[in-house]
Amino acid sequence: MALTQLNSTCSKPQLHSSSQLSFLSRTRTRTLPRHYHSTFAPLHRTQHARISCSVAPNQVQVPAAQTQDPKGKPDCYGVFCLTYDLKAEEETKSWKKLINIAVSGAAGMISNHLLFKLASGEVFGPDQPIALKLLGSERSIQALEGVAMELEDSLFPLLREVVISIDPYEVFQDAEWALLIGAKPRGPGVERAALLDINGQIFAEQGKALNAVASRNAKVIVVGNPCNTNALICLKNAPNIPAKNFHALTRLDENRAKCQLALKAGVFYDKVSNMTIWGNHSTTQVPDFLNARIDGLPVKEVIKDNKWLEEEFTEKVQKRGGVLIQKWGRSSAASTSVSIVDAIRSLITPTPEGDWFSSGVYTNGNPYGIAEDIVFSMPCRSKANGDYELVNDVIFDDYLRQKLAKTEAELLAEKKCVAHLTGEGIAVCDLPGDTMLPGEM
């Protein structure tokens, strides 16, 4: 691969003084968002690892550190100023317009898998350059620099810009996708009501920031738990973005359910379709075996063991996260990141004819009689435009209706618990006693 030095249009970089990172790094002072209180003495509020150069196709740019021009004015800095020596037919002008993807909790375990999938092109496609805007905190800013360094060392051609910051207003600027993963984990002795409040405040703040600066048609996927109610809080604080654009991740539950049905039926999991997870991403979630299909047939025609379906299968899916934590010592991160990829791809590729996917979405206008104004996992179809429609052709029986009522009641109780964060008055928190995240046992 020949190296050619370019006259690029990159902005002049400054080297980050403490870490000596080789990518372009800037610092500037901003007012901290209110929830970032810390005993640290923050000096640098924002740090960027930014590809800010435009590079012509067929050429490779060398880091300015190695190639300062005779006047001593580097145009660009570090490995993010490099691009591959593309063949004429692959040149960058055939790429789509760059999209901004914001990720919170970017130094966490899920992100550590997800970011590399996003940067590789496997999510948005091999002709879609991306900018990754990574949200951390004072707690995690060093770790985030490490993440940026690993992204740098991965030489992803499609990764055109990386920004790390603790300021959601900066990270969400013009974001087309916001993947909200960061949330305080529920530790021993933490009441679910307290968790709803602590994490709810994070999502209220982030909703406000999205409202102010994100793309007006941004798609928001909330992963941080309790993800349904966090998504509700987020959308209530972002009235400029359609409520329909907010999702709570229940795709991991769908994938888990498909795997269990495939195992029981003795088929590979690609034979399982039409799998709905209804309701809350919690142990009240309802994996719907009435409408799911195996090899095109209703599940009940293939697995003629109703007791197993109603009891063992349902509980296995509801509690899969907790069993995994017991074995692995940490919560599902790799499979969660895979399911985030699945969730995004389901919105940007056409749903296969007759099939659907599950997502926790806003219930207003739903055809199933589920209470309005909550975020509830339901069956969706997409035409690949980032949008979705709810599926009409599903059936219900008494068992399914009864299970739906339980998960709906839980979400309505959670909603009352966070009324102070959704602009709906004073919170009253009376949660059902058995409410748990899938990862809790």
Ligand X SMILES: NC(=O)C1=CN([C@@H]2O[C@H](COP(=O)(O)OP(=O)(O)OC[C@H]3O[C@@H](n4cnc5c(N)ncnc54)[C@H](OP(=O)(O)O)[C@@H]3O)[C@@H](O)[C@H]2O)C=CC1
Query: Distance between CA atoms of 314 and 408, rounded to whole angstroms?
Result: 17
In the complex with ligand X, which residue's Cβ is closer, 119 or 294?
A: 119
DSSP output for 328-354: HSS---HHHHHHHHHHHHHHHSBPPTT
At closest approach, how far in Å is the CB of 339 from ligand X?
Answer: 6
Question: Burial, 350: exposed, middle or buried (Cβ in 10 Å; 0-12, 13-18, 19+)?
Answer: exposed
Phi-psi region of 125 (alpha: psi -120 to 50; beta: other; left: phi over 0): left
In the complex with ligand X, which residue's Cβ is closer, 261 or 340?
A: 340
In the complex with ligand X, which residue's Cβ is closer, 251 or 403?
A: 251
In the complex with ligand X, which residue's Cβ is closer, 3 or 190?
A: 190
Catalytic residue among 16, 113, 281, 420: 281
Binding of ligand X by 317 (CB under 6 A): no
- Residue from 61, 137, 284, 363 that binds ligand X (CB under 6 A)? 137
Binding of ligand X by 108 (CB under 6 A): yes
Binding of ligand X by 338 (CB under 6 A): no
Indicate the length of the chain as a whole number.
441
Query: Distance between CA atoms of 32 and 367, rounded to whole angstroms?
Result: 43
| Number of residues near ligand X (by CB under 6 A) | 26
Binding of ligand OAA by 182 (CB under 6 A): no
At closest approach, how far in Å is the CB of 340 from ligand X?
Answer: 8
Collapsing DSSP to helix, strand or coil, 148 comes out as helix
Query: Shortest CA distance to 343 belongs to which of 146, 177, 143, 183?
Result: 177
Contacts (CB under 6 A) with ligand X, residues 144-173: none
Binding of ligand OAA by 375 (CB under 6 A): no
Binding window for ligand OAA (CB under 6 A); candidates: 6-14, 133-141, 352-360, 433-441? 433-441
Find tokens 């409410």 and name the residue: 435
Query: Shortest CA distance to 10 belongs to which of 68, 50, 47, 37?
Result: 50
- b/e string for 43-57 if b means 16 or more Cβ within 10 A? ebbbbbbbbbbebeb
Binding of ligand OAA by 252 (CB under 6 A): yes
Find tokens 């795709």 and name the residue: 251
Q: Residue 109 binds what, of ligand OAA, ligand X, none (CB under 5 to 8 Å, by partner type)? A: ligand X
Beta-ladder partners of 46: 28, 165
Binding of ligand OAA by 337 (CB under 6 A): no
At closest approach, how far in Å is the CB of 71 from ligand OAA?
Answer: 54
- Residue from 110, 131, 214, 418 that binds ligand X (CB under 6 A)? 110
Q: Residue 108 binds what, of ligand OAA, ligand X, none (CB under 5 to 8 Å, by partner type)? A: ligand X
Query: Distance between CA atoms of 261 and 257, rounded to whole angstroms?
Result: 6
Query: Shortest CA distance to 356 belongs to which of 378, 376, 380?
Result: 380
- Residue from 74, 321, 360, 379 that binds ligand OAA (CB under 6 A)? 321
Q: Is the peptide bond before 226 cis (omega within 30 degrees of 0)?
A: yes
Q: Tell me if residue 37 is catalytic.
A: no
Binding of ligand OAA by 74 (CB under 6 A): no
Query: Distance between CA atoms of 414 and 384, rounded to whole angstroms?
Result: 32
Binding window for ligand X (CB under 6 A); candidates: 60-68, 104-112, 381-389, 427-435? 104-112
- Residue from 147, 159, 178, 252 that binds ligand X (CB under 6 A)? 252
- Residue from 183, 380, 394, 436 that binds ligand X (CB under 6 A)? 183
Binding window for ligand X (CB under 6 A); candidates: 51-59, 121-129, 221-229, 343-351? 221-229
Query: Shortest CA distance to 342 belongs to which of 243, 261, 250?
Result: 250
**What residues act catalytically?**
281
Name the site residues for ligand OAA (rule: CB under 6 A). Answer: 225, 252, 321, 331-332, 437-440
